[in-house]
Amino acid sequence: MKIIVRDNYKEMSQEAFRLFRESLRDSSVIGFATGSTPNLLYSMISNECRAGNISFKGKSSFNLDEYYPISRGSPESYRRYMEENLFRNIDINRDMINFPDSMMDEDETVRRYLDAYRRSGPVGTQILGIGHNGHIGFNEPGSARDSEIRIVRLSEDTISRNKTRMSMAVTMGIKEIMESTRIILLASGTEKSESIKRAVKGRVTGDVPASFLQEHENTTFVLDREAARLL
Ligand code: PGA
């Protein structure tokens, strides 16, 4: 695992964008994450795509997770976040966007996303954030290394930090995340420093799902100084 530290959120996002652009050339499948951390990265990707400097033509995407159950138009839905922050700004073919359909019953939601993944995965370049509790996607503490796409119950910590009333989600598993060729994980702010320390320097354990990335061959953590404070 490689670690890059930049002074602040803006410089962290610029560095992540540089790595993303480089990696985009060789990746036909892109994995996106939601959350506040990639906001600026997504706005940079949007601007560069509008300017014609990068293109998603011929590429497909998967998203890491989505609340369950939720409609795609709901203000809280990750689908909506992606539409507003990225998809509507880039030239990706709409049919190539893979997203959990969170309105089906549980088995059907999982089956459809797994089928899509088996047909069109794995991911070439995966953007990741990290939770305060070390989660990646909605793989909460206690997730297994071989966990696959599934419905999960959110931890109390995640529910309160996300200020949501949703208590369940559908997420890609650790297994699918680890199958990505290249992973770019972003973290910003002191409140992420403890989970970054445990992910990077701690034991590899399902108690800190991001620690599994120590065993991934091509992962780069892009951090601002505050998130890297305890390294
Ligand atoms: P955040 O979420 O970017 O909003 O901090 C990251 C995560 O929980 O994975």
For ligand 1, atom 1, the nearest C-alpha belongs to 35
- Written as six digits, the tokens of 218 are 């091509």
pLDDT at 34: 97
For the whole prediction, is pTM greater than 0.75? yes
Contacts 24+ apart (CB under 8 A), 142-146: 142/206, 142/207, 143/173, 143/174, 143/206, 143/209, 144/174, 144/206, 145/174, 145/175, 145/178, 145/206, 145/212, 146/173, 146/174, 146/175
Active site residue 216: no
Rounded to an integer, the average pLDDT of 169-191 is 98
Ligand 1 centre to CA of 217 (Å) is 23
In percent, how much of the chain has pLDDT > 90?
Answer: 100
For ligand 1, atom 2, the nearest C-alpha belongs to 35
What are 54-76's pLDDT values in tens digits? 999 999 999 999 999 999 999 99
Where do the structural domains in the chain lie, given as residue ranges?
Answer: 2-215
Q: What's the burial of 53, exposed, middle or buried (CB within 10 Å: 0-12/13-18/19+)?
A: exposed
DSSP letter for 209, please.
Answer: G
Fold classified for 2-215: Rossmann fold (3.40.50)
Q: Which atom of ligand 1 is nearest to the CA of 189?
A: 5
98 band by pLDDT with thresholds 50, 70 and 90? very high
Mutation pick for ligand 1 pocket among 36, 65, 82, 224 (CB with most ligand atoms within 8 Å): 36
Give ligand 1 pocket residues (Cβ under 6 A): 35-37, 129-131
In percent, how much of the chain has pLDDT > 70?
Answer: 100
47 band by pLDDT with thresholds 50, 70 and 90? very high
E strand or H helix at 97, and its extent? Answer: strand 97-98
> Whose structure tokens read 């670690």?
3
Mutation pick for ligand 1 pocket among 130, 159, 171 (CB with most ligand atoms within 8 Å): 130
Ligand 1 centre to CA of 187 (Å) is 8
pLDDT at 135: 98
What are 133-159's pLDDT values in tens digits? 999 999 999 999 999 999 999 999 999
Rounded to an integer, the average pLDDT of 186-213 is 98
What are 12-26's pLDDT values in tens digits? 999 999 999 999 999
Rounded to an integer, the average pLDDT of 202-214 is 98
